[in-house]
Amino acid sequence: MDKNLAFADYLVFIIYFIIVAGYGYYIYRKRKKNEHDAKAYFLAEGTLTWWAIGASLIASNISAEQFIGMSGEGFFLGIAVAAYEWIAAIALIIIAIWFIPVYLKNKIYTMPQFLKTRYNESTALIMAVFWLFLYVFVNLTSILYLGAVAINGIAGGGYLHIIMIGLAIFALLISLGGMKVVAYTDVIQVAVLIIGGLVTTYIALTTVSEVFGVGKSAIAGFNTLMREAPEHFKLIIPRPDANSSQNEINKYITFPGVLSYAAGIWIINLNYWGCNQYITQRALGADLQTARTGILFAGFLKLLMPVIVMLPGIAAFVLYKGGHLPQLVGGKDGAYSAILTFLPTGLKGLSVAALTAAIVASLAGKVNSISTIYTLDIHKKYIQTGSSERAQVFVGRFAVFVAMILAVLFTWNDLLGIGGVGGFTYIQKYTGFISPGVFAMFLLGMFWKRTTGTAAIVGLITGFVLSVLFNEFAPGLFGNDTWFYTAYPNGKGAFEIPFHICMGLAFMFTMAVMILISLAGPKVNPKAFELDKEMFKLKPTTTILIVITLLLIAALYVKFW
Residue 422 is predicted with a pLDDT of 56
pLDDT digits (tens, 9 = 90+) for 517-530: 999 989 999 999 88
Q: What is the span of the domain harbouring residue 428?
A: 7-236+249-432+531-560
Counting the structural domains of the chain, the total is 1
CA gap 143, 155 in Å, rounded: 18
Residue 2 is predicted with a pLDDT of 45
Query: Which of 3-7, 236-240, 275-279 reaches the highest mean pLDDT?
Result: 236-240
545 vs 331, more confident: 545
CA nearest neighbour of 332 among 318, 317, 319:
317
pLDDT reading at 100 higher than 80: yes
Lowest mean pLDDT among 323-332, 424-433, 446-455: 424-433
In a domain, residue 501? The reply is no
Element (H, E) at 499: helix 499-519
In a domain, residue 244? The reply is no
Buried b (16+ CB within 10 A) or exposed e, 239-258: ebeeeeeeebbbbbbbbbbe
253 vs 33, more confident: 253
In a domain, residue 467? The reply is no
Which residue type does 82 have? A
Lowest mean pLDDT among 32-41, 148-157, 177-186: 32-41
CA gap 273, 205 in Å, rounded: 31
CA nearest neighbour of 9 among 363, 255, 350:
350
Q: Residues, the chain, total?
A: 561
pLDDT digits (tens, 9 = 90+) for 310-368: 999 999 999 998 888 887 766 777 788 888 888 888 788 888 888 887 788 788 888 88
CA nearest neighbour of 333 among 423, 202, 205, 430:
423
Is residue 545 within 8 Å of 502, Cβ to Cβ?
Answer: no
pLDDT reading at 477 higher than 70: yes
pLDDT reading at 253 higher than 70: yes
Query: Is 545 exposed, middle or buried (CB count within 10 Å of its CB: 0-12, 13-18, 19+)?
Result: buried
Residue 1 is predicted with a pLDDT of 38
Lowest mean pLDDT among 14-28, 385-399, 417-431: 417-431
CA gap 175, 177 in Å, rounded: 5
229: domain CATH number?
Answer: 1.20.1730.10
Residue 295 is predicted with a pLDDT of 94
Query: Which of 86-100, 101-115, 162-176, 325-339 reaches the highest mean pLDDT?
Result: 86-100
240 DSSP assignment: P
pLDDT reading at 511 higher than 90: yes
In a domain, residue 519? The reply is no
Residue 531 is predicted with a pLDDT of 86
In a domain, residue 349? The reply is yes
CA 425 remoteness from chain centre: 13
In a domain, residue 549? The reply is yes
Residue 189 is predicted with a pLDDT of 76
pLDDT reading at 179 higher than 70: no
Per-residue pLDDT band for 4 (boundaries 50, 70, 90) equals low
429 vs 464, more confident: 464
Per-residue pLDDT band for 408 (boundaries 50, 70, 90) equals very high
Which residue type does 387 have? S
pLDDT reading at 263 higher than 90: no
> CB-based contacts of 492: which residues, under 8 Å, 6+ apart?
none
How far the first Cα of the chain sits from its last, in Å, is: 37
In a domain, residue 478? The reply is no
Interval 113-118 mean pLDDT: 90
pLDDT reading at 223 higher than 70: yes
Residue 41 is predicted with a pLDDT of 60
In a domain, residue 475? The reply is no
Mean pLDDT of the chain: 85
Is residue 160 within 8 Å of 149, Cβ to Cβ?
Answer: yes
